[in-house]
Amino acid sequence: MMPPRPTELAWMLLRGAIRAGDLVIDATAGNGYDTVFLAGCVGESGRVIAFDVQEAAIRSARSRVVAAGLDSRVDFHHASHAGMAAHAAAESVSVVMFNLGYLPGEDHGLTTQAWETLTAMEEAASLLKPGGVLSVVCYPGHAEGAEEAARVEEWLCARASSGWRVAKYGMPATLRPAPFLLLAAKNER
């Protein structure tokens, strides 16, 4: 049996961190798989705020969410995840998910950027409730992705000194750098 892909592992681990009625954020809506997962977890009384800078991603994610019958639970924003703090109150969010890299099926030259992702992660940290979880799937198999993955991992590891619990999951023995999952639970105080 192969280990699950990082995105599937994120879903497995986050399922227990999200309750009906929660507010959660999909920082990178992409093709909408994480958005649908989150919308299913928050229930009818919960909300998902989803961001993406590419119009094609918003269309794809919205289509997938509508097909799942979950569109009443999701607010889409054709905008950078670096502006998420304008859409939620401090310490009001249970989970923030990032799935970095490029949009499959679209221009692979359009990728998330390390500086913008780090800005978004700072905002996510302020939005998370105590005990809230930050999930980041990194793709180090391309130049921008490798830099971004290294900087994101460094940023998250630095949170451990202030009480965050940080973990990394991935396959270490691959021909080229494999995607990996970083999870960080905000300190309870």
Domain ranges of the chain: 6-185
Which residue did the predictor score with more confidence, 142 or 6? Answer: 6
pTM score: 0.93
Fold of 6-185: Rossmann fold (3.40.50)
CB 136 within 8 A of CB 167: no
The DSSP H or E segment spanning 95 is strand 93-99
Residue 10, both tokens? 């994120």
C-alpha to C-alpha distance for 53 and 110, rounded to whole angstroms:
10
Where do we find the tokens 């989970």?
A: 95
Encoded tokens for 85: 């703090």
Digit-coded pLDDT (tens) for 159-173: 998 999 999 998 887
CB 146 within 8 A of CB 112: no
* Structure confidence by residue, pLDDT tens digits, 50-70: 999 889 899 999 999 999 999
Q: What is the pLDDT of residue 115?
A: 77
Smallest CA-to-CA distance from 25 within 106, 117, 94, 115 is with: 94
